[in-house]
Structure 1
Amino acid sequence: MKGLMALIIISLFSASTLASVNVKVNGQQYRYLNPVRLSLILQTTAKNGDWYWPACAIYSEDTADVEAMRKDVLQSIDAVAVDLSVNDEKAIALNALKRQVENWTLAKRLPVKLNRNAARLDVKQNPMLQEGNYAIYLTGRPDTVWLSGMVKTPGSYEYRNQSTPADYAEGVNLRGYADPDYVYVISPRGEITKQNIAYWGKSYSQVMPGSQIYVPLFTWLLSPDVDDLNEKVASLAVHRVLP
């Protein structure tokens, strides 16, 4: 009888552990034994703080999908470079891009626009988090913009109010095979837009603080492989966890 009771207790404990929802909010761990609404988590953790909601995000810590995306990007880079000599400038540019992607910290960003009040009022912005491990990052208004791709010094740059994608592209040293006409802007919300930076059709939309700007590889000979690669890199950038 005691053995049976012990087995039941172990089974119940195991079931509750498997069904738990584990959420890290800015590094602080919270555990829920049942599926939980996002609004409840934010009500507990986000009521204090001057948060810049467009740059706040929630990620699943199951990284299998995004690591598969990264692997696909790296393979695409190798495929584009396969016929190039090591010293070819295009090969050097591709190798630099490969190192960037290899060094990105990734997690699967969920398509949820975090906002404490919106989560309370709109069920579409208040998903039920199921069993699993999650990370929520709450932040104040960023003071940086991140540049990557065909940039000689990729990384964070000071945010400049009312600046356009072209302003940022013109303010850094680009590689010789940077696309002269377009960049990809990944907003802090995770939205991707392709913006014209050429003088003949320059976009005057302002870059939000905390955005990423991916300077794509120029498509030589109208290569669809390069276009595809650029799209893949921009899509992967959505899942970057920025410092």
Structure 2
Amino acid sequence: MTLRRRWALALLWSCATACQAAVTVSGDTQPISWRPGMRLLDVMTAAQPDAQGYWLAAAWLHQPLLERQARLKAGVLFDLDTLRRAAWAAGRESRARAAAQLYRQVLALPVTGRQIAKLDPVAVEVGFAPNLPVSEGDRLIYPSRPDTVRVFGAVVATCTLAFQPMQLARAYLRACPALAEADADQVWLIQPDGHVTRLGVAPWNRADGLPLAPGSTLLVPIRSDDLDTPTPELNPQLAEFIGTQPLAEVSP
């Protein structure tokens, strides 16, 4: 059994007790009674999410995805530890410390099983979004609208910044200093619904994208391509794993 698989199984086992429960809906909703065979629309209709709620950030924590996401987290942790060791061996102590800090932060994040899906009840009802089956132990979260944007990763300290309408990523990045060990060419935008987009931020590849939505996260990637043991999948997989996390206000 590989080290990554052992870590993934340990992470999955750690959430097993919490994951064995009936389907629940939390956030700004009405209480519901769940029955086997329900689909998303059944749960949404019973829960009646507030029409004024922040449906863009709604999260579906889906039991069948737990094992795959446990492997994803294990892979991110493995690559961060590999990066830390390679940096120490190359005499890049600040890179090693940055990797160790990111390792601790990722280790603290839960494996959620978040399924990226459109959870707007109207869209599901009229067929613009699929009405998928819900598994026992699933959880739907309908949070209130936040008023912040987070900057995470290879930064001096994780920043929680006030959301500004129509503000682009580069403005938030200016307000949260990056480490010298950051990749200066790109950042990853994790939207409140979990979708991930890579944005160029260097003069030669700048792509501002759309203004950020409330509750978005910007991941400033850590550099690893100049070491003897590069980890090319680290940052895209880290961004993907961050996308599995519900908004901090309602995280499990």
Pairwise TM-score range, normalised by the shorter structure: 0.7 to 0.9
Once the two structures are superposed, residues 184-214 of structure 1 have per-residue CA deviations (whole angstroms, 9 ceiling, x without a partner) of 0011121111101223432232112111111
Query: After the TM superposition, which of the residue ranges 23-32 and 45-54 deviates more from structure 2?
Result: 23-32
Do residues 110 (structure 1) and 115 (structure 2) align? yes
Give the match for residue 74 of structure 2: 71
Query: Is this contact kept in 1: 2:187–2:200, CA < 8 A?
Result: yes
Question: Where does residue 203 of structure 2 map in the other structure?
Answer: 199
Residue in 2 aligned with 1:146?
150
1:39: Cα distance to partner? Answer: 1.2
- For residue 93 of structure 1, the aligned residue among 78, 98, 117 is 98
Contact 2:31 / 2:47 at 8 angstroms: preserved in 1? no
What is the match of residue 46 of structure 1? Answer: 48
Between 215-224 and 225-234, the greater mean CA deviation after superposition = 215-224
CA shift in 2, pair 1:182/1:83, >3 Å: closer
Report the alpha carbon displacement of residue 31 of structure 1 after superposing the two structures with TM.
4.3
Number of residue pairs matched by the alignment: 223
The one-letter code of the counterpart of 1:202 is: R
- Superposition pairs of residues 153-192 of structure 1, within 5 angstroms: 153-192=157-196
Shift of 1:183: 0.1
**Corresponding residue to 2:86 among 83, 86, 90:** 83
User: Residue 24 of structure 1 aligns with which residue?
Assistant: 25
Between the aligned partners of 1:37 and 1:161, the Cα distance in structure 2 is: 35
Match of 1:237 in 2: 242
Deviation larger for 23-32 or 171-180: 23-32
Greater mean deviation of Cα atoms: 40-49 or 92-101: 40-49
Instruction: Specify the SS of the correspondent of 1:221.
Output: coil
Per the normalisation by structure 1, the TM-score is: 0.81
Partner SS state of residue 147, structure 1: strand
Q: Is the 8 A contact 1:151 1:172 kept in 2?
A: yes
Match of 2:5 in 1: none
Q: Which runs of 5+ in 2 are unaligned?
A: 1-20
Per-residue deviation at 1:215?
0.5
CA distance in 2, matches of 1:221, 1:21: 48
Relative to structure 1, the CA distance from residue 43 to residue 33 in structure 2 (aligned partners, 3 Å threshold; closer, same or farther) is closer
For the 8 Å contact 1:61–1:133, the answer to whether it is kept is yes
2-structure distance, mates of 1:170, 1:236: 24
Is the CA contact 1:195–1:203 (under 8 Å) kept in the aligned structure 2? yes
Residue in 2 that maps onto 1:228: 233
Three-state SS of the structure 1 residue aligned to 2:187 is strand
Give the partner amino acid of 2:77. Answer: L
SS state at 1:185 partner: strand
Q: Does 150-159 or 176-185 show the bigger shift?
A: 150-159
Contact 2:188 2:199 in 1 (8 A): yes
Aligned match of 1:136: 140
- TM-score, scaled relative to structure 2: 0.79
What is the aligned-residue identity percentage?
Answer: 22
**CA distance 1:77–1:157, shift in 2 (3 Å):** same
Q: Offset of 1:30 from its aligned partner?
A: 4.1
The answer on whether the counterparts of 1:114 and 1:125 sit within 8 Å (CA) in structure 2 is no
Unaligned runs of 5+ residues in structure 1 are 1-19
Query: 215-224 or 201-210: which moved more?
Result: 215-224
Q: For residues 145 and 236 of structure 2, what CA distance do their matches in structure 1 show?
A: 28
Matched to 1:48, the amino acid is D
Q: State the alpha-carbon separation in 2 of the partners of residues 23 and 149 from structure 1.
A: 32
